[in-house]
A and B are shown apart, each in its own frame.
Chain A
Amino acid sequence: MANLAIVGQSVYRTDANPKVTGRALHVGNIEMPGMLHVAVLRSPYPHARIRHIDKSRAEALAGVAVVLTGAEIAKMPAVDAHFGPAFRDQPILAVEKVCYAGDPVVAVAAVDKRLAEDALQLVEVDYEPLPAVFDVLEAVTPESALVHEQHRPAKAFADLAHVQAGRQSNICYHFKLRTGDVERAFAEADRVFEDTFSSPAAQHVPMEPHVTLVYLDEHERLNVWTASQSPSYVRTELSATFGIPMNRIRVRVPYLGGGYGAKLYAKLEPLVTILALITKKPVRYALTREEEFLTITKHKVVTRIQTAIKDGTVTARKCEVYWDTGAYAEIGPRIGHKSGYTSAGPYRIPNVCIDSYCVYTNRVPAGAFRGFGVPQVIWAYDSQTDMIARAIGADPVEFRLKPALDEGEPFATGTIVRSFGIKEAIREAAQAIEWSKPRAAPSGTKSRGKGIAAGVKAVLTPSISGAIVILNADGTANVLSSTVEMGQGSETTMGQIVAEELGISLEQVHIVQPDTDATPYDTITAGSRSTYHMGNAARSAAAKIKAELCEVVAARLEVAADDLVAGKGRIFVRGMEERGMTVGEIFLAKFGSLGTTLAAEAVCQPAASHMDPETGQSEKCTEYWFPSATAAEVEVDTETGQVKVLQLVSVGDTGTSINPRHCEQQLLGAALTHLGLTLFEEMVFDEGQLVNGSLLDYQIASFKDMPESVRPIVVQVPHEDGPFGAKGAGETGALTVAPAIANAIEDAVGVRICDLPITAEKILRALTDKEGTAVSIGSTTS
């Protein structure tokens, strides 16, 4: 890009040094005098009525400050006992009944954690088990047990304003999309493909489990330190739940130890707040890893997908997507909506019918997970796309390229796509893996194959980011932003954007960490939205300051403001660096003093147009898109079914890169997370009880599981409204990993796995079924 000083440079992270030297502040490191620690008793039953709780022995234990039940919270005036971003369906502590095994029932705050846990062992709860439902397809039947008797919409987010109070059903949200004449296209089809795909619940496993510290300050204001991706929302939610004015709540988020969607919306904050309000002491609740598994998961999804083929092209697609959102809706309805409308793929398909259902079950609640549900729908549509290509004898790459949408064409929602580098991404992926070269011959028990997958995610729209930039007289700047630095590099990215706009160096920009007393509203740090939204807000605020500076310089030097540029800490005439002024000189000219600051605020608030509730059609359903492609080469051991990923190439259209290395790291980080999710990660439940809820039994991909070669490829299709053309990169690498590997496995050994994770056993079983007999075990490698 022309004439940019720091945008587009792969500068090192500003947060790297404090993190690797162990000096970065995290909530878990904050100690306060007299601080109490929390332990929570959780339900052993997936669905049960609470008949009686006896907590007297726990309350009698010395050092225990409070033992709290949901029934007590429900009786508190002016406190809403329930919270949640889409429905206010989640109790702070279970009221009357529990809805999943792991549901918080009784909380203890005590002088230390051991004492709090000792006290829990003295609490006796009498439960009456209720019929429960654990399967998402069973939950939608009329005979199913009901998880909730009534639905209460929350109205916290503009994009969820249409969520409605439901009937007596476990379906809490139903998204519909209808375009063209689907029935006719199926009737006229040469071939119809119908398949069902599933992907399981999984856990985010952030290095830092959830932790929240709440205290009342000297003005009795509520102070909240929390490991959250959404400080602004936490303040709104606490204000709504406790009826406390917003300016009497201060939410701060220091460096986050990873989020991946687990730390969105409210989690521990309502409970810790109520304990702090009761005890008038600082209270901290830090989840154990085992509790983390019982707090939030990736949605289990079952997708039925039917595709009509006429003359070798896809003419119609029908998708039924069932989102198992667990015991509480959490953000499930938004996921069912935003991911639901993309579930036919980034293709020119004239006839599309989508039904996306968000469904309650008696399992651990499901919420956002890097990719926001889109990896689950791409798992279905891209796997099937590959199966169809192979079945009709088409080249899988060409079969995707031909109908892939071009700039200016309508998506299934009717929205015209722009900055949509899906074809570029597919081509790059195919080239990187040498798709057209003949495959290696099998060697002993090892067979190799290659796979390509493609898909697209849309950014959450509408949403809002506000930023304030404060310029100091020495030319340094402070940026007030509620974007949470959680390892994604936002601090560096925002620094680069503001430094570029003001013509100063990265070292001269300080990003103030989220603090609702000072930093303006931001919807969430999630969904690959911060670079675009907060980046635009910060850039606009900086531009306002630059305009003020230019005005002064223009008057002083008697030049047109339009002829002035910012660079090297000065404002000068374009092409004549010596004709200009430093920030200090400008401040003296403007204020007659250096003891002042210049501040400006800006808000980035992309709008969406109305989406028809019956057809899902919208002139603009999203502000921008994330095209993704993954190429994989695998080696399958046909005796064991074990897959070794030899090459993994992650390709993403991120718009113009503010920091190319960051974009590459984001692509790879997301892709490698999804490597584990593809091959072995699954939260296993038995009658609603989580079987593998610890890191002893639930493994994520480690260095030992890495492919022999991993490679990111950043495709840069600039977005006309993005800051310097940027979009976002946080989730793109996650989107297409699973189908790329499944497609490569079919390429290698001719079997198709439709249920994630693709374990060695599933492959061996499929190979065995294909052979019709036990796999020949005679062919050892010796």
Chain B
Amino acid sequence: MTIRSFDLLQPRSLAEAITLLVQHGEDARAIGGGTTLIILMKQRALQYRYLVDLQSIPGLNQISKEPEGVRIGALATHRSVELSPVIREALPVVAEAFSRVGNVRVRQTASVGGNLAHADYRLDPPPALLILGAEISAMGPNGARKIPLKDFFRGMYETALEPGELLVDVKIPSMPAKSKAVYLRYSAMSANDWPCLGVAAMVTRENGRCKELRLALGGVAATPVLVNGLTFVKDQLLDEDVMQQILAVVDEQISPFSDLRGSEWYKRQMTQVFIRRAIAQLDSQLIEG
């Protein structure tokens, strides 16, 4: 299939890009790595007269260590996140989640900003970023603003970004002391397939007990889900009683729908299995560590 002809606009700055997007309104769309947008345009499911090429703006692909975390530019590729020494050291769960997307050819091209702005409910990175409390910087016709990632996903393929507004970077805070995080992806069919679901978990320990548990899931609702209401685990041992309570809380907050990768019933079952596995894995790591 072919793409209808379009003009590729190459702004040299964010401000210029925003101006172009505002000027052309619904006729224009920003393009990062293009791995999803181009497929949809080839299928002629989406058609734009103008594509605003964010790759032509210098500096948007930086990955930098900051005093309280790591900042990843919107145009950094999945592959660069996966291989970044900074991220592998400080936030290995982020490197792991990005390494699970698509295949190496896709990851070499697909951008971090594109991944988040696409807001697909089953992508691997969002759950990992959600448990770490990531925050998005956006820039639009009305200036710059910060959006916590947990408020960013509004629906299937819908985000908090306003027309003409661009995702500039994502800031990920450092992990708390004595904490470990893990991302488990489960593909129910071919190992190469989209995940049936993904579970990210972070456990912080203090004096041999749980200080904090964070859980986030992909694939089990129209958006990635950051689980609320887990504060009751503070100062608890993660024993079977507590586990049952955790699973009950999670089950209330997910709303999986049946698709090619599993029925609602199956996704609820697998959510429980993989939350157990994620927590068990972290628990043993923390005990060993």
Interface positions of A (Cβ within 8 A of B) = 113-114, 117-118, 121, 288, 290, 639-640, 642, 676, 679-680, 684, 691-692, 696-697, 699-702, 704-705, 759-761, 764-765, 774-775, 777-778, 780-782
Stretch at the interface among B17-25, B54-62, B131-139, B269-277: B269-277
Smallest CB gap from A116: residue in B: B2
B3 at the interface (CB under 8 A from A): yes
Residues of A within 8 A of B273 (CB): 639-640, 777
How far, in whole Å, are A349 and B1 apart by their CA atoms in the complex? 53
With A117-B2, A702-B191, A782-B280 known as contacts, the answer to whether A640 contacts B262 (CB < 8 A) is: no
Please provide the 8 A-B residue pairs with the shortest distance between their CB atoms, ordered closest to farther.
A680-B189, A704-B191, A699-B190, A782-B280, A114-B2, A761-B266, A699-B193, A760-B188
Contact of B44 with A121 in the complex, beta carbons under 8 Å: yes
Give A181 Cβ to nearest chain B Cβ, in Å. 46
Tell which of B4, B194, B269, B281 has the most Cβ of chain A within 10 Å.
B269
Residues of A within 8 A of B1 (CB): 117, 288, 290
Contact of B266 with A699 in the complex, beta carbons under 8 Å: no
Contact of B276 with A780 in the complex, beta carbons under 8 Å: yes
Contact of A676 with B284 in the complex, beta carbons under 8 Å: no
Residues of B within 8 A of A780 (CB): 276-277, 280
How far, in whole Å, are A765 and B186 apart by their CA atoms in the complex? 17
How far, in whole Å, are A113 and B276 apart by their CA atoms in the complex? 52
How many residues on B have C-beta within 8 angstroms of the other chain's C-beta atoms? 32
Interface positions of B (Cβ within 8 A of A) = 1-5, 39, 43-44, 186, 188-194, 240, 260, 262-263, 265-266, 269-270, 272-273, 276-277, 280-281, 283-284
Some 13 contacts from A to B, beta carbons below 8 A apart, are A118-B4, A288-B1, A640-B188, A680-B189, A692-B260, A701-B190, A702-B192, A759-B189, A760-B188, A777-B269, A781-B280, A782-B281, A782-B283
Residues of A within 8 A of B193 (CB): 680, 699
How far, in whole Å, are A765 and B268 apart by their CA atoms in the complex? 13
How far, in whole Å, are A691 and B44 apart by their CA atoms in the complex? 17
Contact of B189 with A764 in the complex, beta carbons under 8 Å: no
Residues of B within 8 A of A684 (CB): 260
Residues of A within 8 A of B263 (CB): 761
With A117-B44, A778-B240 known as contacts, the answer to whether A761 contacts B2 (CB < 8 A) is: no
Residues of B within 8 A of A764 (CB): 266, 269
Contact of A640 with B281 in the complex, beta carbons under 8 Å: no
Smallest CB gap from B267: residue in A: A761
Contact of B276 with A696 in the complex, beta carbons under 8 Å: no
Residues of A within 8 A of B191 (CB): 702, 704-705
With A290-B43, A764-B269 known as contacts, the answer to whether A676 contacts B190 (CB < 8 A) is: yes
How far, in whole Å, are A12 and B191 apart by their CA atoms in the complex? 32
How far, in whole Å, are A680 and B191 apart by their CA atoms in the complex? 10
How far, in whole Å, are A562 and B183 apart by their CA atoms in the complex? 76
Tell which of B1, B186, B283, B284 has the most Cβ of chain A within 10 Å.
B1
Residues of B within 8 A of A118 (CB): 4
Residues of A within 8 A of B3 (CB): 114
Contact of A704 with B240 in the complex, beta carbons under 8 Å: no
Residues of B within 8 A of A121 (CB): 44
Give B142 Cβ to nearest chain A Cβ, in Å. 36
How far, in whole Å, are A750 and B263 apart by their CA atoms in the complex? 23
Give B200 Cβ to nearest chain A Cβ, in Å. 18
Contact of A696 with B39 in the complex, beta carbons under 8 Å: yes
Complex partner residue of A642 from B2, B43, B188, B277, CB under 8 angstroms: B188
Smallest CB gap from B283: residue in A: A782
Contact of A699 with B192 in the complex, beta carbons under 8 Å: yes
Given A691-B260, A692-B260, 15 further pairs, Cβ under 8 A: A114-B3, A114-B4, A117-B1, A117-B2, A684-B260, A697-B194, A699-B192, A704-B192, A760-B189, A761-B263, A764-B269, A777-B276, A780-B276, A781-B280, A782-B283
